[in-house]
Every structure is written in C-alpha cells, then in structure tokens.
Amino acid sequence: MHVNGKELITTSFKPATIEGRINYRVLHPGKSKGNFKEFWFKLTGNLLFYFGLNNFGGIKGNEPIGVIVLENCSVSFDEDGSGVFAFVVTFSGDQDRHVFSCFSVNQAQNWVIALRQASYEHLRIQVKILESKLESLGGKSIFKWNATSSSSSPSSTLKQSSNSADPTLPTPPARKRIGPKAKTFVSHMTDENPLPINSFTSDNKEPDQDLIKW
C-alpha cells in the first residue's frame, strides 16, 4: 500500500468527525500484554490519526505519530476486560487486537458509533438502502441511470442526432418559384438597338473635325 506522507499530514489537520484523548495498546496473540499509552486520536473520513501528547495534555508536534485505515475491520465493545470503558478494533486476516480505553461509557459509545460509520463499506451499504427505498417509491436510481447513459458513446449520440431530425423542431416548407426568374442586371450594350456606324459623322458625310482633332 503506497501512502503519500505529505497528503496524510495535510489530511490529519482537516476537521474531525470525532477526536479526543484515549488510552491505546495493541494485543498480539501469544505475546505479553503491552501497557496502555495515552494519545490524542482524531477521526477524519476513514482515517484514524493519533498524536503524541505534551505535558499540558495537548497535541505534541505538528505531525501524527501514526494512522489506522478503517477498512475491512470490525468495531465492538470489549468483553474480555482488556481495558476500562474499552472497545476493540480488529481487522480481517489479522489476529492483533487494537484496544482503546476511554474515560467514560458515553465516550466509548460515541467512538464506537463514529468508527463503525467511517468505512467506505458502510457508506456503500447506506447507499444501497437508500436506493432500494427510492425504487420502492417509484423513483429511478441515479446510479443505474448513470450506468445506462454512459454505455452510449458521444460519437454514437452525434451520429444519431445527425441522421434523425429533431421531432421537437418543425420542418420548414419547400420554397416554390413563381414565374421566371427576374433579371437584376441589364447591360446597356445590347444588340437590339445597335449604334449606327455613322453616329460620329456629320450630315455632309465628312468626319467630325472636332473628334479628329481631339
């Protein structure tokens, strides 16, 4: 699993779903029980960050000590007496038990509820429940609609729109020609009234002197 350290540090300072001081230890099977150590825990999304504490009980330093990814895990109240007001987080395929000891029953309950709702698997189940409720009311699932609409490519949609006319737009009537096409330009040089050959000659059949001189 590749993790970007800088992004994790940035995420750790985002607003938290729940946060507070809790005693924490990890129980490994076949090994002696370790001692509890107090940390400042902060839940952001499905990431549970924990920070060290300074002498005043506040967060020590600017970076978390570690992070626990809350996926493929189960959260339950401790029934083995591993801690006071404790709950346990276990992961599938891992026998280690992460024990969290709180300062009151209410604190333990609030943390258990928040951690159970933090995983993406829980969100996926909630989406399915809402989807089934929507369909029972006669609605249409937006997720199925997206899957159907994504199956048609933009190129096929373009071909369909170009080959078929839009039924919502009326088709204009064909243009009709009435009578012969009118002439918009008439030349002044026509053969109907040709200029006489002697138009530039005088009545005495002699060439016009002015024209010759000019």
Q: Give the pLDDT score at 146.
A: 47
Question: CB within 8 A of 70, min separation 6: which ones?
Answer: 46, 47, 48, 89, 115, 118, 119
pTM of the model: 0.58
Q: Give the pLDDT score at 157.
A: 44
Sort residue 161 into left (φ over 0), alpha (ψ -120 to 50) or beta: alpha
Q: pLDDT tens track of the chain, all 214 residues? A: 556 678 888 888 889 999 999 999 999 988 877 889 999 999 999 999 999 998 887 888 888 999 999 999 999 999 888 888 999 999 998 889 999 999 999 999 999 999 999 887 777 776 777 777 777 777 766 655 444 444 444 444 444 444 544 555 566 666 666 555 555 544 455 455 554 544 444 455 554 455 444 4
Tokens of 1: 């699993």
Q: Print the SS3 string covering 24-70.
A: EEEECCCCCCCCCEEEEEEEECCEEEEEEECCCCCEECCCCCEEEEC
Q: Is the dihedral of CA 60, 61, 65, 68 positive or negative?
A: positive
Question: CB within 8 A of 161, min separation 6: which ones?
Answer: none
For residue 57, give the amino acid letter. G
Tokens of 53: 């504490």
Q: Give the pLDDT score at 180.
A: 59
Q: Give the pLDDT score at 134.
A: 75
Q: Give the pLDDT score at 149.
A: 42
Q: Give the pLDDT score at 41.
A: 96
48, 66 Cβ separation under 8 angstroms: no
Q: Give the pLDDT score at 150.
A: 43
Nearest-angstrom CA–CA distance, 10 and 67: 13
